[in-house]
Structure 1
Amino acid sequence: MESGSGTALDALARLRHHGDAEAGPGLLDFAVNVQGDGPPEWLRRRLADAVAGLGRYPSAEAERRAREQVASRHGRTPDEVLPLAGGAEGFAMLPRLDVREAVLIHPSFTEPELALREAGVPVTHVTLDAPYRLDPSAVPESADLVVLGNPTNPTSVLHPAADVLALRRPGRILVVDEAFMDAVPGETESVAGLALPDVLVLRSLTKTWALAGLRCGYALGAPDVLARLCHGRAHWPVGSLQLEAITACSEPAAVAEAGEKARRIGADRAVAVGLLRNAGIEVHTPAAAPFLLLRLPDGERMRTRLRERGIAVRRCDTFPGLGPDFLRIAVRPRAMTEQLIATMREFL
């Protein structure tokens, strides 16, 4: 267990660094975990049809439909659903829970920590060493907010639901970032379907459905917890197209399509692991997410050289607990992965 260190400004800047900062026009993108360049054709048509209504404010009826569809998808009630402008909006709301002491389980996505630190909430790291397995006993009993990702970014570790729920304590809210859970076949180990008074689940629709530019997600939690999150929230916080996307991506046909995508991602990930290891590159497994964590003798040099050759990968020294020798790559189809590895071999 360790507390954050370094100058405040430098620390906040590192927490705000994300994969989109690594990508750019013309680069072969292994830095961002979005699947594809844009949403599937059926979803594009659905959103295009909704454009005609943009002259009207987002309606209560549209929000109700979104809540009901998400609730049906997870076996919850509509009052346990909160549509969000991307999962990241849910992290920005966490300080409204009047947190005394937050624990962030790292290495993990840094946006929750940034939101809490900017609000002046005391933050403690519980840093997991490889193989990055969750140890509930390492979390201080005094923490009234605990945040972890499952599967975790960037380690690609999927924690057992029993271990996740072992973090529950009286007076504590457990926040589970399941942004990549829909990329796990069967969504095994998800706690999204459990109506628990002290567990808040955040979901993103931007990765699997290639909607990063639209900002779509939702929270699942007890109605009183969601009400606390909404205190002071701007009016019309989620636009009409976002509500339409949240509804559409939660319908049974879309959930089935996401499941098929998850299986394809799993197959591509297994191929990538084999190719990387054959090239002598250390890759962390088991892996369950649409990305892989790599470790190289000089990761920063490799990242720089790959970029010079037109390939973007994600640096990982901005994740607490990892250093410059770690890189994260998105799971891509075999041909793209082979291109990446062929270029990496030139510099190994």
Structure 2
Amino acid sequence: MTPPAQIFLPTHGGQLRQIAARYGLEPKQLIDFSANINPAGPPASVFITLQQALADPAVLVAYPDLELTELKKALAEASEILPENTAVANGFVPLLEAALRSLKIARCLLPVPSFSEYRQTLTNAGVEVARYYLAQEEGFSYQPETLLRAALEDDCDALLLANPQNPSGALCEAGIMRDLIEMAAKHRIKVLLDEAFIDYVPTQSLTRSAIESENLVVFRSVTKFFAIPGLRVAYAVSSASSIRNLNNRLAPWPISSLASEAVSAALEDSAYAEETRRENHLRRTWLEREMARLKIFTYSSSTNFLLLRFAAHVDVHLLWEKMTAEEQIVLRSCANFEGLAPVHLRTAVRSEAENERLVHGLERVLARMNR
């Protein structure tokens, strides 16, 4: 197969239909390492719940619960908080937009590299963005005093952070993060904290701390960890007054009845969650060793993905295309991660067999490129 002359780099993970069409393939021929979704698939309880819901015509005929009472109760129980401390929406972006408006954020410090939707959402909300470049030699980790100093020097009234960090997977321990939030509070700086991947290290979450901190809003996702991103459910946690103000800026009926019931069922499956964390740790550790064998640098990660750094002579855009066209393996292009040097790709951690295929595919493609 002859790939197109112009290299096509998707701006987001999980775009298999678009990629397959570009390379004359069927989506099912591709293995997706670009989206960080649990390879185990949804818990069995989710399928059972959805089947039961669909058997009852009233579930589709009736409007969803406007207050999302049962879903908020399930989220609160899982996070050991109260329902009045939660706001729910169909994804992270609507929640961040509502928080920016309710908190009247004017200028936000954004450490980069970062998820591209952070900057886009800030810009769309009319918030000025001050970039702060994280140090590659420190694994893109957060240094609280340095971050706070940068926020003060740039006259920012908010910090937008991710823990674990995206795209590196670096974890900032809860104690260090609490110190940062306390220091920020003294200067009336709000902290907007995306914990989309904290389910892999739940003891490091600041979700419970957020209910007592007027300057902290924590954002959580349940769909990546439980492999149900098609249902689009995320939630925010903060003080009761902050959540009331945030909820007032969300559109009504943000979550369908089916999504609400499915997520509630997933949250109750503690065995699934424990097995996911155990399997992910083993598979990620194996991948790290194999990448080191191939002379590919991996950053320390606490998530289900690894940020890969290649030698300077490797054309990572060409590598991405060859992996797609020749090996039918889709990695995450990092071209749109602001502040990230053009020697990086990101890979999800998938099943053992798929991880082995990734390693062998990289080995073959790099060998062909080095001839």
Alignment TM-score, normalising by the size of structure 1: 0.88
Cα-to-partner distance string for 1:82-109 (whole Å, 9 max, x where unaligned) = 1221233322323313111111122222
Q: Report if aligned partners of 2:11, 2:333 keep a CA contact under 8 Å in 1.
A: no
Q: Distance in 2 between matches of 1:75 and 1:231?
A: 24
Cα-to-partner distance string for 1:4-30 (whole Å, 9 max, x where unaligned) = xxxxxxxxxx9x922123665121111
Within a 5 Å distance, the mapping from 1:288-327 to structure 2 comes to 288-296=302-310, 297-309=314-326, 310-327=328-345
Distance 1:324 1:199, change over 3 A: same
Q: Which amino acid aligns with 2:160?
A: V
Partner of 1:92: 97
Q: Report if aligned partners of 1:146, 1:172 keep a CA contact under 8 Å in 2.
A: yes
Within a 5 Å distance, the mapping from 1:59-138 to structure 2 comes to 59-60=65-66, 63-96=68-101, 97-130=103-136, 131-138=139-146
Q: Is the partner of 1:20 in helix, strand or coil?
A: coil
> Equivalent of 2:159, from 146, 155, 173?
146
Within a 5 Å distance, the mapping from 1:186-335 to structure 2 comes to 187-194=202-209, 195=211, 196-251=213-268, 254-284=269-299, 286-296=300-310, 297-309=314-326, 310-335=328-353
Q: Which amino acid aligns with 1:144?
A: D
Cα-to-partner distance string for 1:288-347 (whole Å, 9 max, x where unaligned) = 100000011321121111011211000112112213210000001222122112121223
Query: Which structure 2 segments of 5+ residues have no match?
Result: 1-8, 21-26, 367-371
Cα-to-partner distance string for 1:55-102 (whole Å, 9 max, x where unaligned) = 1001247x1122222222222111001122123332232331311111
Q: Is the partner of 2:229 in helix, strand or coil?
A: coil
Partner of 1:7: none
Q: Distance in 1 between matches of 2:69 and 2:281?
A: 34
> Equivalent of 1:30, from 29, 33, 41?
33
Q: Is the partner of 1:176 in helix, strand or coil?
A: strand
Distance 1:94 1:250, change over 3 A: same
Distance 1:106 1:275, change over 3 A: same
Q: Distance in 1 between matches of 2:307 and 2:264?
A: 33
Partner of 1:347: 365
Q: Is the partner of 1:317 in helix, strand or coil?
A: coil
Q: Distance in 1 between matches of 2:344 and 2:116?
A: 16
Distance 1:95 1:199, change over 3 A: closer
Distance 1:90 1:17, change over 3 A: farther
Query: Which structure 1 segments of 5+ residues have no match?
Result: 1-13
Q: Report if aligned partners of 1:272, 1:334 keep a CA contact under 8 Å in 2.
A: no
Q: Report if aligned partners of 1:83, 1:246 keep a CA contact under 8 Å in 2.
A: no
Q: Is the partner of 1:163 in helix, strand or coil?
A: helix
Cα distance, 1:227 vs structure 2:
2.3
Partner of 1:6: none
Residue 40 of structure 1 pairs with residue 47 of structure 2: no
Alignment TM-score, normalising by the size of structure 2: 0.83
After TM superposition, the structure 1 stretch with the greater mean CA deviation from structure 2, 103-112 or 119-128, is: 103-112
Larger Rg: 2
Q: Distance in 1 between matches of 2:352 and 2:267?
A: 29
Q: Which amino acid aligns with 1:289?
A: T
* RMSD of aligned alpha carbons: 2.0
Q: Which amino acid aligns with 1:275?
A: E
Partner of 1:160: 173
Q: Which amino acid aligns with 2:230?
A: G
Aligned residues: 328
